[in-house]
Structure formats: C-alpha cells, structure tokens
Amino acid sequence: MPTFHEAQTSVMELAQFAASRGWLPATSGNLSVRVSDQPLTFAITRSGADKSRLQPEDVLLLDADMRAQGDTPYKPSAETTVHVALYQKFECGSILHVHTVYNNLVSELYAEQGFVEIRGHELVKALGHWEEGAAVRIPIVPNWADLHRLGSAVAEAAQADVPAVLVRAHGVYAWGDTPDDARRHLEAIEFLCEYMYKLHLARGRGTV
Ligand SMILES: CSCCC(=O)C(=O)COP(=O)(O)O
Ligand SMILES: [Zn+2]
C-alpha cells in the first residue's frame, strides 16, 4: 500500500495523463488511490479543482465516512460516495472517473438494456479477458442526482471481471488493483467506447 504522499503523487500523475487526453473537461472527473484497508483511507481529488493543473493540496486524504484527515480548506469530490462504495466492494487500489463524449454517447445508445456488450475485440484483453471470442458487458446505471444513490447503483452494477461502470450521460468509473492497472483499463474502455460508437454509425450507413 502506498503512503499518502505516494498516493497523492499517483493521483496527480493520473490526472495529468487523463487531462492530456481531454478526458477531464471543465473541472469534471475525480481520481483516487487507496492508502490503507482497515480502516479504509484513500487519496482523492478535491471537488471543483481543475484536474489538469492539480497541486498537492488539491488531493485529500479521506476515510470511509468521507472525513478529511488533517487540515484542509477544501471539500472532497462530490462523487466520493462512488469511490467509497467501490473500495468497499472490491480490493482495488485506484479508481478513475472521467467524462468523455464517446463514453457519454455509448451510455445513451445502450442505456435501455443496462449494459453495452463488446464481443470479439482484441482490446478486451486489456480488461483481463484473453479467451477466444471473449465478450465483456459494461454495466450502465442512471445518473442519479442523489450521490449516495449513485454510489450504491455503481457498486451494485459493478462486476468483478469487468473493471468499469458507465453512468448515463455523465461518464465512466474504471478501477484496477494499481494506479497503472486502473489507467490501462480506462484507456481500453475509452478506446472501446469510441469503437462501439463509430461501429454503430458505420452499421447505420451500411458501410460495415
Ligand atoms: C463540473 S462536472 C460536474 C460534477 C462531476 O460530475 C464531476 O465529475 C466532478 O465533480 P468533483 O466534485 O469531483 O469535482
Ligand atoms: Zn462526474
């Protein structure tokens, strides 16, 4: 498990990476790294920070009740509820939440069935599925305004073998055992969302 200082640095590096891809527009998104298990503590971005230029003080150490450890004038991410619910369900070490046009489009296209299925695509290997013709179903949950309800909905929908949940017309939560794993999963999910949307368009035009 990392120290708070190490986790803080990881959160800042992850934010730099996601921001460089344009995945954290208009202060959206939140990122966290687990620091301890029992009791649960984790480093997470503060609410409203511009995640493309985080300073160390923009990353807070919180407990499972979302109380900041140590002095800070800042409030934790409004979506800390989702991070806590996922850390309590899984032993993951890092959780990343981003808003992108492609993950939003896919969440709308497949919202009614409650998941998007990706079958037989090479990049599902990056999500841990190496078997022939593997399929993954990424759950899609409503964008509940009540953030405790949103946290419960994401955690209930989350499956151990698919490290992501889409929130309709909002964004995606992706996680992994380590910050690098979470980042790889997020990159794969974003690639696959772009692919699924463009495949949908191409099929509509009859070009594939
Ligand atoms: C300005 S984006 C709306 C809130 C949101 O969805 C988000 O991801 C950022 O919220 P935070 O409190 O973590 O800054
Ligand atoms: Zn969000």
Contact 51, 61 (CB under 8 A): no
183-208 per-position pLDDT tens digit:
999 999 999 999 999 999 999 999 99
Contact 43, 61 (CB under 8 A): yes
- The residue to mutate among 30, 45, 52, having the most atoms of ligand 1 within 8 angstroms of its beta carbon, is 30
- This model of the complex carries an ipTM of 0.99
Across residues 177-181, what is the average pLDDT?
A: 98
Across residues 89-106, what is the average pLDDT?
A: 98
**Cis (ω within 30 of 0) for the bond into 39?**
yes
Q: Where are the alpha helices (DSSP H) in the chain?
A: 4-20, 80-89, 101-109, 147-157, 179-205
Q: What percent of the chain has pLDDT over 90?
A: 100
Residue of the nearest CA to atom 5 in ligand 1?
28
pLDDT for res 178: 98
Q: How far is CA 82 from CA 95, 146, 152, 181, in A?
A: 9, 11, 7, 19
C-alpha–C-alpha distance, residues 146 and 183, integer Å: 27
What's the gap in Å between 132 CA and the centre of ligand 2? 34
19-66 per-position pLDDT tens digit:
999 999 999 999 999 999 999 999 999 999 999 999 999 999 999 999
What's the gap in Å between 96 CA and the centre of ligand 1? 12
Residue of the nearest CA to atom 6 in ligand 1?
28
Residue of the nearest CA to atom 4 in ligand 1?
28
What's the gap in Å between 156 CA and the centre of ligand 2? 18
User: pLDDT band at 6, cuts 50/70/90?
Assistant: very high
- The residue to mutate among 79, 84, 95, having the most atoms of ligand 1 within 8 angstroms of its beta carbon, is 79
Ligand 1: nearest atom to the Cα of 30? 13
108-134 per-position pLDDT tens digit:
999 999 999 999 999 999 999 999 999
What's the gap in Å between 45 CA and the centre of ligand 1? 10
In words, the CATH class of domain 4-205 is: alpha beta
Across residues 90-116, what is the average pLDDT?
A: 98
Q: How far is CA 28 from CA 4, 172, 177, in A?
A: 23, 11, 23
What's the gap in Å between 169 CA and the centre of ligand 2? 10
Query: Does the annotation flag 200 for ligand binding?
Result: no
The pocket around ligand 1, CB under 6 angstroms, is made up of 26-30, 45, 47-48, 77-79, 97
